[in-house]
Amino acid sequence: MRAQKFSDFWPYYLQEHAQPGTRALHYVGTSLVVLLVGALPFAGRWWIIPALPLAGYGFAWLGHGLIERNRPATFRYPLWSLRADFRMWSRFVTGRMGRELASAGVRPDGSIDPSKRRRL
């Protein structure tokens, strides 16, 4: 089965990021990307552009490999994963991530409510 709408993908994405450590590494990578993009007009350094995917994906994939032990959704859903990463980051920054996780069936301990488990 493949997600047809982002609204179907979002709960799956959150479940693939159930462990707090995985999300933390995503937040670090995304924050670094935001800072680098913000610095680009002032720094005028060309190396910032190729550093963007390294910063964002490097931290994220580290979390998936070492903590979550799953395959990043980026490989099957590249654009939705990018959108979801920034959405997850914005929910974290605004303090709304807990509600999002709960609605997706992700428990505070990182386990997933079996009745809400998504497989895509």
First to last CA, the chain: 5
The reported pLDDT for the residue numbered 26 is 98
The reported pLDDT for the residue numbered 1 is 77
- Domain limits of the chain? 30-106
The reported pLDDT for the residue numbered 64 is 97
Q: What is the DSSP letter of 68?
A: I
CB atoms within 10 A of CB 72: 20
Contact 56, 72 (CB under 8 A): no
The size of the chain, in residues, is: 120
Query: Residue-wise pLDDT tens for the chain (120 aa)?
Result: 789 999 999 999 999 999 999 999 999 999 999 999 999 999 888 889 999 999 999 999 999 999 999 999 999 999 999 999 999 999 999 999 999 999 999 999 999 999 999 999
The reported pLDDT for the residue numbered 47 is 87
Contact 64, 19 (CB under 8 A): no
